[in-house]
Structure 1
Amino acid sequence: MYNDLKVVVVMPAYKAAKTIEKTYREIPLDLVDEVILVDDASPDETTQMAEKLGITHVITHEQNKGYGGNQKTCYNKALELGADIIIMVHPDYQYTPKLIRAMTSIIAEDLYPVVFGSRILGKGALKGGMPIYKYIANRLLTFSQNLLMSQKLSEYHTGYRAFSADVLKAVDFNKCDDDFIFDNEIIAQIFSKGFEIAEVTCPTKYFEEASSINFSRSSKYGLGVLRVSFRYFLAKTGLVPWNLIS
C-alpha cells in the first residue's frame, strides 16, 4: 500500500525460468500488495519457478498469446484484484524492480498518472549493453513519434511501465494488438485521452537470458510503430476519424 492505494506488480513472462528469482527478490514487497505472473506458454519451467517462489498469482496460458496478449491478461487480473496502481516489470531482469517505489510515489502523489522507466535518459541503454543498431532504431523511431504525436518522450519502447488504474480503465487496451505493437497502441490511447506520461532514468541489462526480438520482428515492429503514429497524427489533425485499433 502507498497512501492507502493498492499496488500490484504484473510480470508478463516467457522463458524466464532462469531470471524470475533474481527479479522477484528485488521487488519491494513491503510496498507491493500483490504480484501477478502470466506465463505465456513457456517451454521451460517458468510457471514452476514462479510457484516455487511463492508469487501470489501465477497464470499460465495454454497457448502462446503474444506479448500484447500477455499484458492484457496481466492488466485484467490486476484490475479484477482492485489494484489502484499497476506496474509492469519484465521477469527477465532487464529492468531493475528497485525503481518500483519511485514510480509508485509519482502516481500516488498525483504528479502523473503514468510513469515509464526510460533507458535513454542518462546513459542506461548503451552502458547496459543495448546493441548499437537497436539504439539507433530506438532514437529514430522516438524522434518520428514525438513529431507525429506532438510529445517529448525520451523513448516509447521501454517495457518498464506504471499506470494508475484510472488510466487502464479509460483506455481500451483489450482491443490493442496481441504482439509487440501493443505497447505503442496503448501509448496512443493514453495520449488521446489527455493523460500525461512521466519518465524516470532506468539502468538496463542486456545478456543472454534477457528477452529480445530478432531483426525481422524488429523491422515489423518498427513499421507497426510508424503506422500507429501516422494514424494518430491524421486523427488529431481531423483528416480521418479516430479509429486507432482496427
Structure 2
Amino acid sequence: MIRDKKIVVVMPAYNAAKTLVQTYNEIPFDIVDEVLLVDDASKDETSTIAKQLNIGLHIHEKNLGYGGNQKTCYTAALNTGADIVIMLHPDYQYTPKLIGAMAYLLESGEFDVVLGSRILGGKALSGGMPYYKYFFNRILTLSQNILMSAKLSEYHTGYRAYNRKVLEKLNWRNNSDDFVFDNQFLSQAIFHGFKIGEITCPTKYFEDASSINFLRSMKYGLGCLKNGLLFRLHKWGIYKSKLFS
C-alpha cells in the first residue's frame, strides 16, 4: 500500500510454470497488497504452483485468449478494492522490480496510466527482440501517434499499470479477447484524455518467455492500424465506433 492506496498485481498466465516462481519472488511486497493470477487453461503446473505460493487464483476452464484473460484479471482486481492495478506477465520477460516506480507515478496523481517501455532505453534489440518485431513496432507506433495525435514511445508493451478510475471508465469489457486487447485499451485511454506516463523497461527474450509468431504478429499489427483509423474516424464524426463510446 502507498499512502492508503491498495496496490494489486495481476498476472495473466498461460503455461507459466517454469517462470512463475522467479517472477513472484521479485515482486516488492513492501508496497504490493495482493497478487492475483488468472490461469487461462494452462497445460502445465501453473495453477499448482500459484496455489503453493498462496497467490489469489482464478482458473478458466477453457482458453479465452490474452484479452479474455485480462478481462478476468481486471474484474477480480476491482472486486478486491484495488486503487492501482499493475499487469505483470508471469513469464519473467518484464522485471517486477519496476512495480514500485510505476505505482508511485500513479499514486502521485500526475498519471492515470503508466507503461513500461522497451523502446525508451534503447535496449530492445540487445534484450533479444526479433528485428522484424522491432521494425513493425516502430512503424505501428509512428502510425498510431499520427492518427491519435499522441507521442508515446511504443503502444505494444505488455507491462502496464492503471489507476482505478481508468478501469471503471473505459469500455474494455467489450474489447477483443485476442492480443489486440492491449492496443484497444490504450487507444481508449488516449481518446478519453487520460494522462499516460512511460518508464524505460529492459526486456528479456528467451525460450520460456511468451511470444507470438509471425502470422499472429501480422494479425495484431493490422488490428492496431484498425484501432488508429477508428480513433480518427470517431474523432472526426465520420464513423462512430463502439470502442470509444
TM range (shorter): over 0.9
CA apart distance, 1:89:
0.2
Q: Deviations for 1:140-163, whole angstroms, at most 9, x for unmatched residues? A: 000000000100000000000000
2-structure distance, mates of 1:241, 1:119: 33
Counterpart in the other structure of 2:29: 29
| Aligned 8 A contact 2:180 2:220 in 1 | yes
| Aligned 8 A contact 2:11 2:89 in 1 | yes
CA apart distance, 1:242:
4.0
CA apart distance, 1:238:
2.0
1-structure distance, mates of 2:132, 2:10: 29
2-structure distance, mates of 1:32, 1:93: 18
Amino acid paired to 1:167: V
CA apart distance, 1:124:
2.4
Counterpart in the other structure of 2:220: 221
1-structure distance, mates of 2:65, 2:132: 24
| Aligned 8 A contact 2:87 2:160 in 1 | yes
Counterpart in the other structure of 1:15: 15
Q: Deviations for 1:119-148, whole angstroms, at most 9, x for unmatched residues? A: 000122112110111100100000000000
1-structure distance, mates of 2:99, 2:77: 16
CA apart distance, 1:53:
1.6
Counterpart in the other structure of 1:164: 163
| Aligned 8 A contact 1:185 1:245 in 2 | no
Q: Deviations for 1:93-141, whole angstroms, at most 9, x for unmatched residues? A: 0000100000000010111011000000012211211011110010000
Counterpart in the other structure of 2:71: 72
Counterpart in the other structure of 1:140: 139
SS of the equivalent of 2:242 reads: coil
Amino acid paired to 2:88: V
2-structure distance, mates of 1:153, 1:180: 19
**Residues 1:94 and 2:99 aligned together:** no
Matches of residues 197-212 of structure 1 in structure 2 within 5 Å? 197-212=196-211
SS of the equivalent of 2:136 reads: helix
| Aligned 8 A contact 2:234 2:244 in 1 | no
2-structure distance, mates of 1:45, 1:64: 15
| Aligned 8 A contact 2:171 2:243 in 1 | no
Q: Count residues in correspondence.
A: 245
User: Identity of aligned pairs, percent?
Assistant: 60
SS of the equivalent of 1:126 reads: coil
Counterpart in the other structure of 2:45: 45
| Aligned 8 A contact 1:176 1:245 in 2 | no
CA apart distance, 1:193:
1.3
| Aligned 8 A contact 2:11 2:36 in 1 | yes
| Aligned 8 A contact 2:110 2:195 in 1 | no
TM-score, normalization by structure 1 = 0.97
| Aligned 8 A contact 2:116 2:201 in 1 | yes
Which aligned runs of 4 or more in structure 1 are off by greater than 4 angstroms? none
Q: Which runs of 5 or more structure 1 residues have no equivalent in the other structure?
A: none
| Aligned 8 A contact 1:17 1:45 in 2 | yes
Matches of residues 148-159 of structure 1 in structure 2 within 5 Å? 148-159=147-158
TM-score, normalization by structure 2 = 0.98
SS of the equivalent of 1:200 reads: strand
Counterpart in the other structure of 1:236: 235
| Aligned 8 A contact 2:231 2:244 in 1 | no
Aligned Cα root-mean-square deviation (Å): 1.1
